[in-house]
Amino acid sequence: MTTTPGRPPVSAGRTRGFMAAMVVDALGSGVWITFSLLYFVYGRGMELTAAGSALSAGSLTALAAGGLAVGTLTDRLGPYRAAVLSCACRAVAFPCYLLADNMATVAVIAFTVSFGDRLYWAAHGGLVDSVTSAEHAQRSLFALLNSLRNVGLGVGALAVALASSLEGADAALWNAIPLVNAASFAVAGVLFRWVGRALAPARERTADRERHHSGGRRPSYRGVLANRGFLAFTGATLTLTLSSVAFDSILPVYLRSLDAPLWVPPAAYLLSCVAIPACQPLALRLGRRHAPLRLMALAAVLVAAAFGGLAALTLLGRAGAVAGVGVPVLVFSLGEAVFGAVAMTIVLAYATSHEAGRYSAFYQLAWGLSGALGPGVHTFLFSASGSAQWLVMGCALLVGAAVYLRLAGAATRTEDAPQGRKAEA
């Protein structure tokens, strides 16, 4: 693990503990995203629409009530205490799913799980920054965590593909899923607590120095909202997060509308889950050669090109679509790999240590809004025309790329450059 001036060296044991905690969170969250509906339908006997509505209600309530509050909480507690609290919320909530037998109960538990997720993502950037402030090392860590999350999503997708064979499985097998998840988050919480005891004092000294540099200004969202460059960056990133949701939610329906065999949608999704980690070394090499904002523009262009390829499948016929879908999926995966490696390093560049939670939470609203609104928007576009969602999002992504390039070109101007810890160094 890289150390930086002014920070104590991190022991090998605590480094392994830190990575183990991050790995557990990334894998556990990724698996549950794709496995949750299966659990409630086959494990708890709920109707698909009831389970989906309850999970959505809990998640949307957590977004509305805690979307920004988790940032304030993280800045007050520090990233490690916030991460411990987020793991505790989920470790307590997941076993409660075994007692859930109606929509209201599922919604309340889903709210707790979603709040824990949001609190973790608000602390996520500060956790990485606590062990290294070197940009290339941060990119490597964020790329690794992005890969692990996609591995988790891939495992969940495999479960979805095997759902028919699991339908008659014993209830004990289904109940083991939330229990294992709860145990894993409990372990992650203990590890975050252990690592945080060694790193928190140094981080508090760094935050005190940055408060001094800022003239003693108390952290608040007023400073975040006054940062025009960061707002423009987050707005442009909304095009990428909406595109990720489009790929996850509409691609299977779109491929079936082209009369593709039933095995093609899960195969395409699994290909992406494997390809994103495989593309991370290339994304990191690009990161050593190009400015972060220009890499974000590259990611947007790659995803736009992939969506253009998906739209073109309508011209190829059934056999051509089946044979050709792999190419846009791979291009999309490269764009996602670049995006995942660099986005949070830019967020941290805008933020100071004592405001990192607020900046991360505000940035994560792009993901929250995309998850809440994306399926409805993309379904509406799909109903208007089978390829409309790819074409509309492709155009939006090109606009986003232009914004990134504008920010990159203006980065030498004081008013548009990131004003966080790198400006103070």
Indicate the domain borders of the chain. 10-218, 219-413
Residue 246, pLDDT score = 87
Taking CA atoms, 168 is separated from 158, 174, 216, in Å, by: 17, 10, 62
CA dist 168 and 28 (Å) reads 24
CB 289 within 8 A of CB 153: no
Domain 219-413: homologous superfamily in CATH:
MFS general substrate transporter like domains (1.20.1250.20)
User: Is residue 379 classed exposed, middle or buried when 0-12, 13-18 and 19+ CB atoms within 10 A define those classes?
Assistant: middle
Q: Of 1.10.8.60, 3.30.200.20, 1.20.1250.20, 1.10.3720.10, which CATH number belongs to 10-218?
A: 1.20.1250.20
DSSP label at residue 39: I
Predicted TM-score (pTM) of this structure? 0.79
The pLDDT, as a whole number, for residue 316 is: 87
Fold matches, 10-218 and 219-413: yes
Question: How many angstroms separate the CA atoms of 416 and 250, rounded?
Answer: 36
Whole-number Å distance between alpha carbons of 118 and 330: 29
Alpha-carbon distances of 219 from 120, 126, 235, 359, 422, rounded to whole Å: 19, 15, 22, 11, 17
Cα–Cα distance, 250 to 255 (Å, whole number): 9
In a 3-state reduction of DSSP, which class is residue 202?
helix
Q: What is the pLDDT along the chain (425 residues), one digit of tens a residue?
A: 444 444 555 556 667 777 788 777 777 776 777 677 778 877 788 887 788 888 888 888 998 888 889 999 998 888 899 999 999 999 999 999 998 888 899 999 999 999 998 999 888 888 887 776 677 777 777 877 777 777 766 666 666 556 545 555 566 777 888 888 899 899 989 988 988 887 655 555 555 555 545 555 567 788 888 899 999 999 999 999 999 888 887 888 888 888 888 788 878 888 888 888 888 888 888 878 888 899 999 999 999 999 999 999 988 888 888 889 999 999 999 999 999 888 888 988 888 777 888 998 999 888 888 887 777 788 888 888 888 999 999 999 999 999 999 998 876 554 445 555 544 43
Dihedrals phi, psi of 290, to nearest 5 degrees: -130, 155
